[in-house]
Structures are given as C-alpha cells and as structure tokens.
Amino acid sequence: MGKIGLFPGFGAAWLYPRAMGVAKALELLFTGDLLEAEEAKEIGMVNKLASTEELEGVTMSLARKIADGPPIAIRLMKAQVYKGLGLDLATALDEAAFCESITLASKDHLEGITAFREKRKPSFEGN
C-alpha cells in the first residue's frame, strides 16, 4: 500500500502483525512489496505450500486429520485461541484450566488415552 499512498484494506493492519510480527508487517505495509510463496510460509502467513495439482489432496488430508480429532477439545482450542488474543495471561491461564477440566472429564479423553496405550487410532465421538 505504501507504493500507491493508500491505507491497507481488508484488515491488513490488524492481521499482518498477528500473522508475522510487527517488524515484518510494517515492512510489507510500508513498502507494498509482495511475498513469494516460500517467504509467506517462513513468516507464518500460510501453513503449507502445494502445487495446483496437489492442492485438493493436501487440503482434504488436513481437513480429515482435524475432523478425526476430538471434537470437544478442538472446539475449545479454537475458541480459546481467538478469545485469548484479547486476554491477559492470568485470565487466559484460568480459562485454559477450565477447558482442561472439561476435556479431562470427557469420554473422548479416555478414548484417546486408551487408544494410545493400545497403539491404535482413537475413535472420538464428541462426548
């Protein structure tokens, strides 16, 4: 945006520092430089790289891995990551302890531990 004298839209001034740190965010916002795919991965803007031909397979593999995980724990992790962006550490730790107590009491946790001991893939049901 620095190249055309325009403030960056689509929340870039909010998103970039969270994705890559303040220094790199300011560099990109001030200069308007574009990133190559490898650099975007290195600084945390993207998680994986895939060719056009591989994209659907890579995406579906990640989606399946997440979908096969423990639903309660995943739901709580997602909520706490986003909520935690606005919390101080002490409050975030209290929230984490509460979430951990929920998952410790779940049947999914028992299934995860049992599957680990039996050296098999767990079958989570969301309870």
Q: pLDDT value at position 44?
A: 85
Q: pLDDT value at position 35?
A: 87
Q: pLDDT value at position 76?
A: 96
Query: From CA 79, how far away is CA 99, in angstroms rounded?
Result: 10
Fold of the domain built from segment(s) 70-117? Lyase 2-enoyl-coa Hydratase; Chain  A, domain 2 (1.10.12)
Query: From CA 15, how far away is CA 38, in angstroms rounded?
Result: 19
33 closest CA partner among 8, 15, 51: 8
Tens digits of residue pLDDT in 90-116: 999 999 999 999 999 999 999 999 999
The structural domains of the chain, with segments of one domain joined by +, span 12-49, 70-117
Tens digits of residue pLDDT in 9-57: 888 898 889 888 899 999 999 998 888 999 999 988 899 999 999 999 9
pTM for this structure? 0.75
